[in-house]
Amino acid sequence: MLMGRVAIIGAGMTKFGQLWNQGLVELAVEANMKAIEDSGLDRKQIEALYIGNMSSGLFTRQEHISSLIADSSGLAPIPSTRVEAACASGAVSLRQAYLAVKSGMYDAVIAAGVEKMTDVTSTMSTRILSTASSQDYEASIGATFPGLYAMIARMHMHRFSTSEEQLAMVAVKNHRNALNNPYAHLRKSIKVDDVMNSAKVADPIKLLDCAPISDGAAAVVIASEELARKACDTPVWIEASAQASDSISLHNREDLVSLKASAVAGREAFRQARSSIRDIDCLELHDCFTIAEVLALEDLGFVEKGKGGKLVEEGLTEIGAKIPVNPSGGLKAKGHPIGASGIAQAIEATMQLRGDAFNNTNSQRILTHNVGGSGATAVVHIFGR
């Protein structure tokens, strides 16, 4: 493509957690304002807004949040678009914003994401999250979301002798990484035994294998190359933005131990960035459940299929090791306000590449990976400085 490059020039997020005193709109506005301030732009320079959000209607009974958030952020009358792709809503929002700037239509837009999840009971939020799977053929017969990932985990353990302890190590690492992150929901050190002894959710998945139910919002300002160079000393370049789809139901996939959409999006991202796994220094992976981080490592090609658990056990995904994974704490410990997660990953990448991350990895190039549902949507971005 002949179009210029596209960069992130500003980033802002709320704390993730159970934020009783903040509603959906306040969260989104806070993230937007912080991102604009960080970019150094005047708010009048923002030309469009994209908002990733999975289910404001079911969580808070509020739809039409695109304009509501634009107006509340003082950004009306610019166009505002809500983007929904279940848990990948954030990264798809980022991708839509990227495409809008890449096309030459705009010089500066915001890609944001928000979810307000804790105004309903946890049982209700489990039900709402299950709308990301087939209502007729999965959720309505009692297959919860943890249940679907549990069936993937059991298959992975059966085929490759992956152990529950190896999965627990993903949680232990991500909790440790979150200790330094003031925005994280769960800043609490845990041990493998804590995970193994936590309440069973859907065998073999236990409570501490699961990302928490969080409130939160995140936003980034995306700019054209010309504007980015003028406005910012440390633009973070979006070198690839790739997305793929697969069947919404697990049972309609050929292979249950691999998310094909992740593999396809990963290959396309490496093609766009003209790079390979060897060029990537650090990963922010979609770890809604510990098994998901293992799958992602394999599906993106960082380790052979079936060897993901071993990679984690050998400590090769720790900060300072071969390929640091989720230095932010990941969805698992930083928190997982569904629509915000994909944007928060991009913010972690931005901070890592600027050198102001809470756990600095001295990275030149970072890959982020966001999944919707049990793998029906996957989005991979590559960022460089």
Partner 1 sequence: MPANIWRRMPSFYSLAGSECMKCSSLYFPASKVCKKCGSQEISERVFEGAGEVVTYTVVRQGFNDDSENEKLVCNSPYIISIVKLMEGPMVTAQMADCEPEEMKIGARVKAVFRKISEEGEEGLIRYGYKFVLA
Collapsing DSSP to helix, strand or coil, 253 comes out as coil
Among 21, 142, 182, 278, binds partner 1 (CB under 8 A): 142
Among 94, 152, 300, 325, binds partner 1 (CB under 8 A): 152
Tell me the C-alpha distance between 299 and 286, whole Å: 12
Tokens at 334, concatenated: 């930083």
199 belongs to the binding site for partner 1 (CB under 8 A): yes
Tell me whether residue 43 or residue 260 sits nearer to partner 1 (CB atom): 260
146 belongs to the binding site for partner 1 (CB under 8 A): yes
Print burial letters for 162-197: b (CB count within 10 Å at least 16), e (below 16). bebebbbbbbbbbbbbbebbebbbbbeebebebbee
Instruction: Tell me the backbone φ, ψ of residue 264, rounded to 5 degrees.
Output: -65, -45
Establish whether 87 is a catalytic residue: yes
Which residues between 23 and 82 bind partner 1 (CB under 8 A)? none
Tell me the C-alpha distance between 54 and 114, whole Å: 8
Establish whether 156 is a catalytic residue: no
**In the bound complex, what is the minimum distance in angstroms from residue 181's beta carbon to partner 1?**
28
CB 156 within 8 A of CB 166: no
112 belongs to the binding site for partner 1 (CB under 8 A): no
Closest CA to 217 of 73, 96, 372, 113: 113
Tell me whether residue 103 or residue 140 sits nearer to partner 1 (CB atom): 140
Which residues between 247 and 306 bind partner 1 (CB under 8 A)? 249-252, 256
Among 77, 141, 182, 278, binds partner 1 (CB under 8 A): 141
CB 277 within 8 A of CB 302: yes
127 belongs to the binding site for partner 1 (CB under 8 A): yes
Closest CA to 112 of 57, 63, 75: 75
Collapsing DSSP to helix, strand or coil, 367 comes out as strand
**In the bound complex, what is the minimum distance in angstroms from residue 59's beta carbon to partner 1?**
13
Cα-only R_g, the chain: 19
Candidate ranges 27-35, 107-115, 153-161, 376-384; the one touching partner 1 (CB under 8 A): 153-161
**In the bound complex, what is the minimum distance in angstroms from residue 315's beta carbon to partner 1?**
29
Going by DSSP bridges, is the β-strand pair 282-284/365-372 parallel, antiparallel, or unpaired? parallel
Q: Beta partners for 216?
A: 115
Percent of the chain that is helix, strand, coil (3-state, to 5): 45, 20, 40
Name the region of 280 (left: φ>0; alpha: ψ -120 to 50; beta: rest): beta
Collapsing DSSP to helix, strand or coil, 225 comes out as helix
Which residues between 202 and 231 bind partner 1 (CB under 8 A)? 202-205
366 belongs to the binding site for partner 1 (CB under 8 A): no
**In the bound complex, what is the minimum distance in angstroms from residue 210's beta carbon to partner 1?**
10
Specify the amino acid at residue 134.
Answer: S
Among 138, 239, 284, 298, binds partner 1 (CB under 8 A): 138
**In the bound complex, what is the minimum distance in angstroms from residue 243's beta carbon to partner 1?**
19
Which of 87, 232, 282, 288 is labelled catalytic? 87
**In the bound complex, what is the minimum distance in angstroms from residue 142's beta carbon to partner 1?**
5
Which of 156, 185, 336, 369 is labelled catalytic? 336
Tell me whether residue 2 or residue 141 sits nearer to partner 1 (CB atom): 141
**In the bound complex, what is the minimum distance in angstroms from residue 206's beta carbon to partner 1?**
9
Tell me whether residue 85 or residue 150 sits nearer to partner 1 (CB atom): 150
CB atoms within 10 A of CB 233: 8
Among 33, 78, 155, 196, binds partner 1 (CB under 8 A): 155
Active site residue ranges: 87, 336
Residues that bind partner 1 (CB under 8 A): 120-121, 123-124, 126-127, 130, 136-138, 140-144, 146-147, 150-152, 154-155, 158, 199-205, 249-252, 256
